[in-house]
Amino acid sequence: MRIPLLARVHVGTVAVLSVLTISACLLIAGLPRGMQASFDQALRRSLSTASAQQADLTVTVASDSQADDLHERGQFDARDRQWRELLPAGLRPLVTPAGTGSSHASAKTSLTPITGTSGTRYINLGWLSDADRRVTWVQGRPPGAPGTTRYDGETIPVFEVGVVVEALREMDLRVGETRTLGENDYVAVKIVGAFEAKEPGDRYWDHNADIMHVAKVQPPGSLDFEKHITSLMSDDGLTALSGEGRHLSYNWVLPVDPAAAGAMDVPGLTAAVADLDRLIGVQSTGTASPYRLITGLPKLLGDFRAALATAETVMYLVLGGLLAVALGVLVLGVQLLADRMEHTLTLARARGGSLRQVAGTGAALTGLAVAPAALAGYALSYLVPGPVLPIVHLGPVIMVLVTVGYAAARLAVTYRAPLHERRDDVATARPTAKRTTLEVLVVVLALAGAYLLRARGLDDSAGQDPFLLLVPVALTAAAALITLRCYPYPLRLLVRLAARGRAAVPFIGLTRAARARSASVLPVLILLPALGVSVFAAVISDGISGTQVQASWQQVGAPIRMTSNIEIPAEAIAKVRAAGGVEQVVPAQTARVQVGYGAERAEAIAVDVARWRQLMGGAPFDLPDLSSGALVSSELRGRGTFEIGWQSRLKLATRGVIESVPGFYTEGKFLVVNIDVLTRPAVNTLLVKGDASVGELKRLVPSATVVSQQGTLRAIQDDPLTSTVRWTMIVVTVALAAYALAAVVLALVVGAADRARAVSFLRTLGLSERQAQRLTVLEILPMILVTTTVGLGLGLGLPAALGPAVDLSSYAGDLPVAGHPPGLVLPGTLAAGLAAVAVLGAYAHTAVSRRRRIGAVLRVGDLT
């Protein structure tokens, strides 16, 4: 048979099959690329927003004797080259070349006290390999070569150093003065200059925060703070710097370039960091002090991998459902094409055509329809930016192979005997014992798998947990089997009820629905996963959205929060109250207070709780009312009336236990008191209600950090990984809805010939056009309603069935996505749409059939 001629005759059906193939291949090949590109972007953002100390690789060694000292820049450069040569292949593309980015070496002492300060003031000695490129000297001059002086009868070295401008004020230092350091092994420093950073926001200073800022440390049991600063000396200072008698360490920073990272490389990068740590440890053989690798990169990668595993799991679930539904719709299209060719193939078989010829003709025509379309969809997927994954190549191939294979297999089974007519509408074969046993086993395994998954949780020690991927598939298969088995029984009951009435249309329509051909099972198998996965995606997306709003309120604690590390003046508070868009301002004070008379400390906030509750309005959380006493955390419960030290000694009665203070404390020891218990509140926090500009409020109070609930919500929603999950859910939901509607339409068209034949018979018996329309609706609608109901229940039940195995907190501000009632708008709309399409299809079918003559449908002898 001539395939091009058949394609021209059935051009409409071939075109439908081609369009379905293009859309399916585009989705299956394009979505994974877009997802993986978003995963890469999320990893790069995670590395770039983390501190450089966490993301970069730092090799460090302590010098405990003169034998371990390094006195020349060349010694540092040689070791830097050595560390870079040890980098495993997987890490080399990620580490920036020497001399670029924040790559540098340093030498620093620690815990070097100023003599006579009783350990409350420390000036450490420091050297940076690229200090000349990083700082600007604003007072005095850069340090030079060290000298010597006499102190306590000994000759001690004098280092020329510079300090950051902040240290002059915070530690009462002056340019030009000399300070003696140490308690026994003395050295002196002469402060010859003060500097500022050329780029204060550069990630470089994450490694050297001790040089840029004065560190304040509160020792246990003390109410006073120690102050530490690291000074800068010149290259010449290295010649006199020794680790003998003081804490000295040498450091080499190998910075990581976030732009070179890829999500698919995460497992290899984690292993490479472990290999580098081992190789660096080997270099310590024969030395007094071991070399160590200090980095938070494995933790960053581990946290990202945990969030990525959940994203991939959800993506695999919805994409697997999309693939199954797309294949089902394509199979429906093949079935429609086979029905259209039934007369041609039956005639060819009756005239001596072999089974291979008949099946080959159908497979060739199907291949002609789907192969070019699959190639077109595959080519269009390259418009989506992102790496090319194996599924990009395999998806279209699977589509073509399954579609062509089904066409060949179906035709081979249908035409294995010439002119063998079947009456699927009269009787159906009883299922065998083996088939029934297998179906029961599938249902039992699905239920047991769901229970075990909830009981044991997620096991991602070996990567993706296959159990999590199989359980939803098993639940869907079990729901489909139960639906197919139970579908006829309520219809038979309705048929019995309809038989008692006088109207013939309900009885005939419901009878035809109950005796549906085996081919009508396929739409059920398509609609069920389509509705189940789309509803699951909608529920997950809605849950993430609701939890994101709650998380933003939990993180901020007010529409706008202003916090300062110093007291906010009363005139500044007045300016904030008068600012445009400000409706209400609630002042508060936060501090770390003494509990009792010992060393126990707790975080505390003093605020007018009643006004704060009023300011929060419709926020998704609330604080208990407080008129006196204190609200305490669970770690402070059970103390009754206790005493704290805060400005003065205060006795407070416990009025309630709270799990968190939104915007402030979520764990540990904390308490909330009314602000009027303080003698003179030193306000350092303002809770603001209104739509005021964050920038304007920051200008009014320069010392304050200003955050808003809306800004925090946008930051949570704009996270690349979160955005990927959300938009993929939306795309898949829309695609599955479209495929579900397509399945309904194709189901109507596939059964159109048999339906037209039955209606034509009944028309000879006096059936009216309106009755024909009602008959068609009654035949189609039960299948739509039952499948829609089961699919809706499956989609709503999947999140509960998976339970804690899918942790979506990474995409919702680290709050668990639970306790949000699923929205029924989208599922209800989809169900209504399916029913509407079925009704419209029935009316359209009867409208088309009305123009047909009965003689064009019925054969000679059909009425005898």
**pLDDT one-digit tens code per residue, 747-794:** 777 776 676 677 777 766 677 767 777 777 777 777 777 887 888 888
pLDDT digits (tens, 9 = 90+) for 129-140: 999 999 999 999
Q: What is the mean pLDDT of residues 374-389?
A: 90
CA 262, 265, 269, 272 torsion-angle sign:
negative
Q: Is residue 836 part of a domain?
A: yes
Neighbouring-strand partners of residue 590: 605
For residue 685, the model assigns a pLDDT of: 92
Using pLDDT thresholds of 50, 70 and 90, give the confidence band for residue 864.
very low
Q: Choose one of 294, 324, 342: the last residue of a domain.
A: 294
For residue 861, the model assigns a pLDDT of: 47
Q: Is residue 535 part of a domain?
A: yes
Instruction: Kindly write down the DSSP assignment for every residue of 817-846, as one continuous string.
Output: --SPPPP-HHHHHHHHHHHHHHHHHHHHHH
Place of tokens 């007010």: 558
Domain range for residue 641? 566-702
pLDDT digits (tens, 9 = 90+) for 281-296: 888 655 667 899 999 9
For residue 852, the model assigns a pLDDT of: 54
Instruction: Check whether residue 196 and residue 263 sit in a common domain.
Output: yes
Containing 785, the helix (H) or strand (E) segment is: helix 769-802
Res 422 pLDDT > 60: no
Q: Is residue 401 part of a domain?
A: no
Burial of 373 (0-12, 13-18, 19+ CB in 10 A): buried
pTM of the model: 0.75
Res 231 pLDDT > 90: yes
Instruction: Check whether residue 659 and residue 678 sit in a common domain.
Output: yes
Q: What is the CA radius of gyration of the chain?
A: 38
Q: Choose one of 702, 724, 744: the last residue of a domain.
A: 702
Q: Is residue 357 part of a domain?
A: no
pLDDT digits (tens, 9 = 90+) for 36-61: 888 888 889 889 888 898 999 999 99
Instruction: Check whether residue 85 and residue 185 sit in a common domain.
Output: yes
Lowest mean pLDDT among 48-52, 302-306, 726-730: 726-730
Q: Tell me the two tokens of residue 196.
A: 């500022």
Q: What is the mean pLDDT of residues 159-163?
A: 95
Instruction: Check whether residue 689 and residue 583 sit in a common domain.
Output: yes
Q: How many CA atoms lie within 13 A of 227 on its CB side?
A: 13
Name the DSSP class of 602: E
Q: Is residue 833 part of a domain?
A: yes
In whole angstroms, give the CA distance from residue 581 to residue 576: 10
Instruction: Check whether residue 724 and residue 862 sit in a common domain.
Output: yes
Instruction: Check whether residue 694 and residue 546 sit in a common domain.
Output: no
For residue 328, the model assigns a pLDDT of: 85
For residue 434, the model assigns a pLDDT of: 83
Q: Tell me the two tokens of residue 740.
A: 């579900």
Using pLDDT thresholds of 50, 70 and 90, give the confidence band for residue 221.
low
Res 352 pLDDT > 90: no
Instruction: Check whether residue 248 and residue 269 sit in a common domain.
Output: yes
Res 299 pLDDT > 70: yes
Instruction: Check whether residue 727 and residue 641 sit in a common domain.
Output: no
Q: Tell me the two tokens of residue 509.
A: 């329509």
Pairing relation of β-strands 187-197 and 154-164? parallel
Instruction: Check whether residue 758 and residue 683 sit in a common domain.
Output: no
Q: Choose one of 648, 676, 702: the last residue of a domain.
A: 702
Instruction: Check whether residue 549 and residue 532 sit in a common domain.
Output: yes
For residue 766, the model assigns a pLDDT of: 72
In whole angstroms, give the CA distance from residue 177 to residue 404: 88
pLDDT digits (tens, 9 = 90+) for 574-597: 999 998 889 999 999 998 888 888
Residue 430 neighbours by CB under 8 Å, 6+ apart:
none
Lowest mean pLDDT among 81-85, 190-194, 469-473: 469-473
Q: Is residue 1 part of a domain?
A: no
Question: Is pLDDT larger for residue 803 or for residue 547?
Answer: 547
For residue 859, the model assigns a pLDDT of: 52
For residue 522, the model assigns a pLDDT of: 67
Q: Listing from the earlier edge strand, what are the strands of the sheet with 292-294?
A: 126-128, 104-110, 247-254, 57-63, 292-294
CA 496, 498, 504, 509 torsion-angle sign:
negative
Q: What is the mean pLDDT of residues 367-375?
A: 92
Q: Which of 620, 667, 624 is nearest to 812 (CA)?
A: 620
Question: Is pLDDT larger for residue 741 or for residue 713?
Answer: 713
Instruction: Check whether residue 541 and residue 600 sit in a common domain.
Output: no
Using pLDDT thresholds of 50, 70 and 90, give the confidence band for residue 863.
very low
CA 137, 139, 144, 147 torsion-angle sign:
negative
Res 462 pLDDT > 70: no
Q: Which of 548, 517, 497 is nearest to 753 (CA)?
A: 517
Q: Is residue 389 part of a domain?
A: no
Crossing angle for the helix pair 488-499 and 466-486, nearest 10 degrees? 20
Question: Is pLDDT larger for residue 454 or for residue 46?
Answer: 46
**pLDDT averaged over every residue in the chain:** 83
For residue 860, the model assigns a pLDDT of: 45
The domain tally of the chain equals: 3
Place of tokens 């924040």: 102
pLDDT digits (tens, 9 = 90+) for 63-112: 888 888 898 999 999 999 999 999 999 899 999 998 888 899 999 999 89
Instruction: Check whether residue 212 and residue 63 sit in a common domain.
Output: yes
Res 443 pLDDT > 90: no
Q: What is the mean pLDDT of residues 256-269?
A: 90
Res 464 pLDDT > 60: no
Q: How many residues does the chain have?
A: 864
User: What residue type is 740 in one-letter code?
Assistant: A
Q: Is residue 106 part of a domain?
A: yes
Res 518 pLDDT > 90: no
